[in-house]
Chains A and B, each alone.
Chain A
């Protein structure tokens, strides 16, 4: 009963000020963030004494809270979808993993902050700037990590992207002296009350932006010449080359495109959490890869759905089991997929690697 009281206070607190549920940084990784960055007394108490909702039966409010946490998670999941798309596109075109992708996305968000501080522009441009810098970083990563390393050697490119990940992280640490930087959130004061539910304006804006970028990306892939070339290379590299498509060029452009998507995702993550920290990059890499696999390698619709699924799922378990156990259940979801549906939600057509 004591536990339910605490949970009640917790959820009440959460409902009262929906702009910051729990410790927002912990949305990404409680384990790293809370020990190093967020050692507030209030947070610590909540963190240690978390008991979850009352196990004896679901009351009406708990039911509402459950739905609310799923909704919040799905809204945040749009960022996971974007990251998953980035991993999946690179995998589809090159059959390689770009482990530095999440770090590059965070790096792009940082870069947009720097540009915004130099050029006075409305805050909404930050997403555009993040996308642009993400594209540039993506191109650079292609050149240093993939262009000059033999294609037939998957281990070498895996390692070089790890090197790039460490390098980007360290550049950020170096430039910010390791202190998390506040990131502007748009519409964070807008709270929509829909019946018993509250929807955060910043999360909804993020979700809408995520959907918009996904639509633009799909349009690019299915309606332009570059998109046709990209899909051709991912389906039949040899035949594509015979048709006169330059594979290095398509690969490089794919990196630029995924970089743009990643930059927007990085800005969205920064806006949703309120801070940027290099500590975000490893947990986000893990989440992005999980989303990629759950969605099915190389499948963009799969990555979108899997991102929303993982977002909702993890927030649901954060509500029930606390922030420390949350990711364990995400891993279990992944294992369940690997055992029962190894191809992911949308498995690629048979005959491909």
Chain B
């Protein structure tokens, strides 16, 4: 049972990470900096609870805020460039953050032991959950509360004008601009929201793993962050969730019985998925089909055919 609870925790945190990339991807930008924001959130939240003695709730909110501010600051210069340039710029930013934490040594003597992030050895003393007697289930509920909040907020945003604006910029920047949309503002806003979500996820991640080090926030995590929304499809927030469950639950945990061969299958299945469904597992056509089905069930014999593609 604990195994499944742990898996659900991982899925929750990775969903937050994927949703942070989803926001940015909606505007057509590929950002590999999400792992960097995630790392900032993780380190800030952990330092607040361990070194400053805060409660986890204000700590992760503050961490999320810090990551959001950094994302906003990164957004302005980074969004001057497009396409591959942006991919490389954000990749370099993420790596720079990781290298910063690799060299970041801020240890405070607490009694006989020194606590705090210790450069390459990582940050070891994050014990908020055990110290406050939270059970695995409590942690799980805590994580999924935030996942549900973020998903609800994004789902609502998608249905509001803001979502339409984001997608307009993502589909055709020039058209969006000529329709009077301030493209830079929209992109920076999306980046900031992405940073906020990634920081939140990072703060939670630091507390449930209890040990963070720079190597966890490398290029691999950054690619996973964009992989979830791309695999799941950008048409709905649920695509990201399904992709996380597919990757973490099925590809990583579900195929463990294959032993070493699992890792081989992992890359191969991503390849296959992209060849078979280039627009993601849940694409616009799928959503249109689901909508049609619902309409048909409600009013038999009066199926709407518009909205496909």
Which A residues have a C-beta under 8 Å from some C-beta of B?
Answer: 31-32, 35, 91, 95, 97, 99, 144-145, 148-150, 153-160, 162-171, 173-174, 282, 285-286, 289-290, 292-293, 297, 324-325, 327-328, 331-332, 334-335, 338-339, 342, 353
Question: Given A171-B264, A324-B99, A325-B103, A163 and B274 touching (CB < 8 A)?
Answer: yes
**Which residues of A lie under 8 Å from residue B273 when comparing CB positions?**
163
**Which residues of B lie under 8 Å from residue A153 when comparing CB positions?**
278-279
Q: Is the CB of B274 within 8 A of A335?
A: no
Chain B interface residue count, CB cutoff 8 Å, equals 51
Question: Given A159-B230, A289-B87, A338 and B77 touching (CB < 8 A)?
Answer: yes
A-B pairs, 3 with minimum CB distance: A167-B267, A163-B270, A166-B267
* A286-B32 Cα distance, complex, nearest whole Å: 11
Question: Given A159-B231, A339-B77, A31 and B89 touching (CB < 8 A)?
Answer: no
Pick from A99, A331, A339, A342: contact of B96, CB below 8 A. Answer: A331
**Which residues of B lie under 8 Å from residue A339 when comparing CB positions?**
77
Interface of B is mostly: helix
* A149-B82 Cα distance, complex, nearest whole Å: 22
* A169-B95 Cα distance, complex, nearest whole Å: 20
Shortest beta-carbon distance from A37 to chain B in Å: 13
* A171-B260 Cα distance, complex, nearest whole Å: 10
Which B residues have a C-beta under 8 Å from some C-beta of A?
Answer: 25, 30, 77-78, 80-85, 87-89, 91-93, 95-96, 98-100, 102-103, 119-120, 214-215, 218-220, 223, 226-227, 230-231, 234, 260-261, 263-264, 266-271, 273-275, 278-279
Q: Is the CB of A289 within 8 A of B102?
A: no
* A155-B273 Cα distance, complex, nearest whole Å: 13
* A282-B30 Cα distance, complex, nearest whole Å: 18
Q: Is the CB of B215 within 8 A of A158?
A: no
Q: Is the CB of B80 within 8 A of A342?
A: yes
* A332-B214 Cα distance, complex, nearest whole Å: 19
Q: Is the CB of B92 within 8 A of A335?
A: yes
Shortest beta-carbon distance from A326 to chain B in Å: 9
Nearest residue (CB) in A for B121 is: A35
* A183-B204 Cα distance, complex, nearest whole Å: 43
**Which residues of A lie under 8 Å from residue B230 when comparing CB positions?**
155-156, 158-159
* A145-B268 Cα distance, complex, nearest whole Å: 11
Q: Is the CB of B81 within 8 A of A324?
A: no
Q: List 9 A-B contacts (CB under 8 A).
A: A31-B120, A31-B215, A153-B278, A154-B30, A165-B267, A166-B266, A171-B264, A174-B260, A293-B88
Shortest beta-carbon distance from B170 to chain A in Å: 10
Question: Given A144-B275, A153-B279, A331-B95, A173 and B263 touching (CB < 8 A)?
Answer: yes
**Which residues of A lie under 8 Å from residue B77 when comparing CB positions?**
335, 338-339
Pick from B91, B234, B264, B271: contact of A289, CB below 8 A. Answer: B91
Q: Is the CB of B275 within 8 A of A285?
A: no
**Which residues of A lie under 8 Å from residue B100 when comparing CB positions?**
328
Q: Is the CB of A342 within 8 A of B81?
A: yes
Q: Is the CB of B267 within 8 A of A163?
A: yes
* A154-B29 Cα distance, complex, nearest whole Å: 11
Question: Given A165-B267, A167-B267, A328 and B88 touching (CB < 8 A)?
Answer: no
Shortest beta-carbon distance from A345 to chain B in Å: 14
Question: Given A159-B270, A286-B92, A327-B95, A170 and B264 touching (CB < 8 A)?
Answer: yes
Pick from B84, B99, B274: contact of A293, CB below 8 A. Answer: B84
* A253-B165 Cα distance, complex, nearest whole Å: 40
**Which residues of A lie under 8 Å from residue B278 when comparing CB positions?**
149-150, 153, 156
Q: Is the CB of A292 within 8 A of B88?
A: yes
Shortest beta-carbon distance from A138 to chain B in Å: 16
**Which residues of B lie under 8 Å from residue A165 when comparing CB positions?**
267
Most buried by B among A159, A297, A327, A342: A159
* A331-B268 Cα distance, complex, nearest whole Å: 31
**Which residues of A lie under 8 Å from residue B267 when comparing CB positions?**
163-170
**Which residues of B lie under 8 Å from residue A167 when comparing CB positions?**
264, 266-268, 271
Question: Given A159-B230, A282-B220, A149 and B274 touching (CB < 8 A)?
Answer: yes
Q: Is the CB of B92 within 8 A of A342?
A: no
**Which residues of B lie under 8 Å from residue A290 when comparing CB positions?**
88, 92
